[in-house]
Amino acid sequence: MLKKLFFLLVLSTLFSASQAQKKDVVITINTKYGNMMAVLFDETPKHKANFIKLVKEHYYDSLLFHRVIAGYVIQGGDPNSKKAKPGQLLGSGGPGYTIEAEINPNYFHKKGALAAARLGDIENPTKASSGSQFYIVQGTILMDEIANELKIDQPKLNIALQQFVNMPGNQAYRDTLSKLYAAGNREAFRKKVFSLAARCEKETGVKVIKEVSLEKIKTYTTVGGTPALDDGYTVFGEIIKGLDVIDRIAMEEKDGADRPKEDVLMFVTAKELSKKKITKLYGYHYPEIKK
């Protein structure tokens, strides 16, 4: 009898866990331009749990999108922005703690990506996230040529290039690059540097070319985004409805600190729904995450 009871208890627990995995939380960010709906990723559990906790505590209600850069991101979540005076500098506030980075290569800065703001690398070498500040990517659509440059590890290319141009027989390359740079022809200089990537790798042994999925390149050339932020910040969710609201906010007239001259407030709620219903309502399909 006890064995049977134990079996039923285990079965019930497994069934409950299975059922729980079939549900998710939809975040709604309400603004004067309409609503943005978002899902948060299970693969960034600390960020997901923290964001939902703050939402349920109404932490974000009446806070501002205090930093807006068209073609880049819109940022909010600073508690000091509540009832902030015009011209007041914002962006340094938080709940008094940070969150350990959960940077996942499967999630990148495409348009609509929801990511955690943080302090810079010098004062924050572990890339720990702000406890409350977040940004949503607007970005731009990249040309194919620029998107292909995502395959280049730029810091390593800089190292390899220095070695390459100082090698015997490569004086002509050094002279060409020096002339382009001195002439202020930055675009031609950039193209020449990237064109040398494969040769720099071959002759120096520095691994310059990295693997980038075709999905990422396709997304950046069709949907758009801000790839310069990849691998440096934790992307923990994405907007699944209301991308046009991002565009409206990004168009706001700003002051010298990129704060909109007219306040853009947010009110944020969380609602649990089945994943099946989320797909039906918003057309969002949960991806199969590669290990």
Q: Does any domain span residue 214?
A: no
* Predicted local confidence at residue 61, as pLDDT: 98
Q: Does any domain span residue 181?
A: yes
DSSP 8-state class, residue 255: -
* Predicted local confidence at residue 149, as pLDDT: 84
Q: Is residue 7's pLDDT more than 60?
A: no
SS3 for 27?
Answer: strand
Q: Does any domain span residue 4?
A: no
Q: Does any domain span residue 215?
A: no
| Model pTM score | 0.84
Report the chain's mean pLDDT, rounded to a whole number.
91
- Domain of residue 188 covers 153-204
Residues 23 and 137 in one domain: yes
Query: Is 104 in contact with 43 (CB distance < 8 Å)?
Result: yes
* Predicted local confidence at residue 287, as pLDDT: 81
* Predicted local confidence at residue 153, as pLDDT: 87
Quick count: other Cβ atoms within 10 Å of Cβ 21?
10
Q: Does any domain span residue 148?
A: no
Residues 100 and 40 in one domain: yes
Beta-bridge partners for 267: 30
Average pLDDT over residues 166-177: 93
* Predicted local confidence at residue 290, as pLDDT: 54
17: which 2 tokens? 């866990």
Residues 125 and 244 in one domain: yes
* Predicted local confidence at residue 21, as pLDDT: 65
Name the most confidently modeled range: 19-23, 189-193, 233-237.
233-237
Q: What percent of the chain has pLDDT over 90?
A: 80
Residues 161 and 196 in one domain: yes
Q: What is the CATH number of the domain that holds 69?
A: 2.40.100.10
Residues 27 and 91 in one domain: yes
